[in-house]
């Protein structure tokens, strides 16, 4: 609620307390002939009841707002923890990917060396053997 942002919480509790005091005053001094209280008894009671209702409502709103803020803080803590776990997992994945890339590069180097050895053997005859084609195809794939 927008009003909770501008006013401190104690104001709503004070409104509730003033309502209770006003209602109790008009009820207790019902039989004592004090002219001001006796004359304005009904408007004071109505105003007191409105203050009690408003103070109670706003106290509930304050409690609800605090509960939601607590939940938000809990979720933010969980998100921060998940982000840390995500960073650790990403590091592990990056290491595995780097290792896999190194293995692929090593395999390609080995296959290229094998092709270079075989090309020297068959260079004069210009016949491409079936094994050479298979090895060449393996080198092209990851």
The pLDDT, as a whole number, for residue 75 is: 97
The pLDDT, as a whole number, for residue 122 is: 65
User: CA dist 93 to 51, 104, 105, Å?
Assistant: 62, 16, 18
Angle of helix 130-140 relative to helix 41-122, nearest 10 degrees? 160
The pLDDT, as a whole number, for residue 134 is: 81
The pLDDT, as a whole number, for residue 1 is: 63
110: buried, middle or exposed (CB in 10 Å: 19+, 13-18, 0-12)? exposed
The pLDDT, as a whole number, for residue 109 is: 87
The pLDDT, as a whole number, for residue 2 is: 66
pLDDT by residue for the chain (142 residues), tens digit each?
A: 667 677 888 898 999 999 999 888 887 777 666 666 667 788 888 999 999 999 999 999 999 989 999 999 999 999 999 999 999 999 999 999 999 999 998 888 888 888 777 776 666 666 677 787 788 877 777 5
Q: Where are the domains of the chain?
A: 2-140
Dist CA 41 CA 30 (whole Å): 8
Dist CA 16 CA 49 (whole Å): 9
């Amino acid at each position: 609620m927008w009003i909770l942002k501008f006013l401190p919480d104690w104001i709503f509790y004070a409104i509730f307390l003033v309502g209770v005091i006003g209602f109790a005053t008009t009820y207790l001094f019902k039989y004592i002939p004090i002219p001001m209280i006796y004359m304005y008894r009904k408007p004071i009671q109505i105003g007191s009841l409105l203050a009690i209702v408003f103070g109670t409502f706003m106290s509930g709103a304050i409690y609800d707002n605090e509960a939601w803020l607590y939940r938000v803080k809990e979720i933010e803590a969980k998100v921060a923890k998940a982000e840390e776990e995500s960073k650790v997992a990403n590091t592990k994945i990056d290491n595995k990917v780097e290792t896999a890339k190194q293995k692929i590069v090593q395999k390609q180097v080995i296959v290229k060396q094998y092709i270079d050895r075989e090309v020297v053997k068959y260079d004069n005859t210009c016949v491409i053997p079936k094994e050479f084609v298979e090895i060449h195809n393996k080198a092209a794939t990851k």
